[in-house]
Amino acid sequence: IPVDPFDLVIFGATGDLARRKILPALYRRDLAGQLPDEARIIGTARAALDDDTWQGEIRHAILEHVPADRIESAALERFLARLGYVRLDATGEDGWQRLASLIRPGVVQAYYFSVGPGLFGDLARGLHRHGMNREGCRIVVEKPFGHDLGSARALNATLAAHFDEQQIYRIDHYLGKETVQNLMAVRFGNMLFEPLWNAQYVDHIQITVAEMVGVAGRGGYYDKSGAMRDMVQNHMMQLLCLIAMEPPYAFEPDAVRDEKLKVIRALDAVEPGDIVRGQYAAGNGQAGYAEDAAIPSSRTETFIALKAHVSNWRWKGTPFYLRTGKRLRARTSEIAITFKDPPHSIFGEQEGQKSNVLVIRLQPNEGIKLKVTIKEPGPGGMRLIEVPLDMSFAQALGPGAEDIADAYERLIMDVIRGNQTLFMRGDEVEAAWAWTDPVIAAWEARADRPKPYDPGSSGPEDALMLMHRDGRRWREIR
């Protein structure tokens, strides 16, 4: 079903995000028939381009970032014809009048700030000055949403000066991933899981986001950020929230976001001994972090593992182990919920009897798997084995289903539809920083150096210890 007619303005239209994700995502929605005839996209940036040149650039970007089997030339031409370009200086006056004159009344108006947070204030003021912050219009902002609590508050205040919270769409693309939403469907659409979803039955939870890529080319940003700010404060925190939150009264923006906020507020401060930081070393013919970031003695972590506690009635006593890193053995994102053992085994000690684990796999091979114990088939007596009940989505979703564009496709369409459920509210972001800041401050005060780890490994040895000492182990990264 096509969405309502819209004017979508992309600030930072010549940037990497626009080329790699936003425009390919819009093209794919167009291909799927979701963009109405009256949908228009206006790119703006400082470069002196005209409509034709920008369309040409985006043609290349789409050919590069959309799989060849999704390219249809008629659809591509139709999509490119929607694109217009306005040269605009975010910090000055150039281009604003022209942009304002192009925005049509009576259609959905959305402004995507695909620029560094340093320009958010200028853009918000520019839109206001030129009468574009009309009622019902939306702005979309990307991470990093601040660098710490203070800067996040300042950004929120800047945006709030010109827009209501209902108009602000803070993207965390993890919330747009298919399986992340499925997690909510599984939890709240079934009777089976929720009664067991608490500290009485859950032994522990592991959340892993492992990547194989390094940071070559983004060292400037990454070195000031590190894994804690780049991944934990946002993506991993959101995953933790969706696992830990209470059932919202409805699948509605504020109902869901209120529950997530309560989880973040219930997080205990992390003990320094419950964190392991790592930095990838050189190896396998690949450069190490220091070389990739061109900062020889950097103390920035490219890996982090930590143990978190949600102190509320539901979760007291069940640890959440979080781990994320670059240049690891495989690209894997998953959440694993390990249930406690049955109180008594009527089968005696048996190797085959393992704890139930519910694995929610975000990428690749998205799906949900429940590991259960059954009897080994055959006449061999009551021997137990573990088998997976497999709910793989690969078939349903088809090839390329794990493509990151999917998250952007869904989220951008939600902006046009005016649905904020999968976007972060300002108070959530601030609460997440309030939890993150002291952790970072503590290691900075100790001048802590991250532990080097081999590329292609599972991270530093110490990360294994974080679980071993609790009598548990990480799932393999594969």
- Applying CB under 6 A, the residues found at the interface with ligand BG6 are 143, 173, 211, 230, 333, 404
User: Using an 8 Å Cβ cutoff, are 113 and 11 in contact?
Assistant: yes
30 known ligand binder: no
Residue 341, classed as helix, strand or coil, is coil
* Residue 114 vs 356, nearer CB to ligand BG6: 114
Backbone angles phi, psi at 461, to 5 degrees: -50, -40
> Phi, psi (5° rounding) for residue 6?
-145, 160
Least distance CB 230 / ligand BG6 (angstroms): 5
Rounded to a whole number of angstroms, the minimum distance from the CB of residue 174 to ligand BG6 is: 7
For ligand BG6, give the closer residue by CB, 403 or 430: 403
Tell me the three state secondary structure of residue 312.
coil
208 is an annotated ligand-binding site residue: no
Nearer Cβ to ligand BG6 (404/464): 404
Q: How far is the CB of 186 from ligand BG6 (least distance, A)?
A: 20
Measured from the CB of residue 61, what is the shortest distance to ligand BG6 in angstroms? 18
Phi, psi of 156 (to 5 degrees): -60, -40
Q: Tell me the C-alpha to C-alpha distance, in Å, between residue 443 and each of 2, 276, 300.
A: 50, 10, 11
| Residues designated catalytic | 235
Pick the closer one to ligand BG6 by CB: 132 or 232.
232
* Phi, psi (degrees; rounded to nearest 5) at 79: -65, -45
Q: Is 340 annotated as a binding residue?
A: no
- Confirm whether residue 46 is marked as ligand binding: yes
Quote the tokens at residue 378.
């055959």
Is 478 annotated for ligand binding?
no
Please state the closest distance from residue 270 (CB atom) to ligand BG6, in A: 21
Q: Is 268 left (phi over 0), alpha (psi -120 to 50) or beta?
A: beta
Coil, strand or helix at 325? strand
If the CB atoms of residues 318 and 332 are measured against ligand BG6, the closer one turns out to be 332
What's the helix, strand, coil split of the chain in %, to 5? 40, 20, 40
Consult the annotation and say whether 173 binds a ligand: yes
Instruction: Tell me how crowded residue 78 is: count the other CB atoms within 10 A of its CB.
Output: 15
Give the residue ranges of the annotated binding site for substrate: 173, 177, 211, 230, 326
Known binding-site positions:
12-19, 46, 143, 173, 177, 211, 230, 326
Binding residues for NADP(+): 12-19, 46, 143
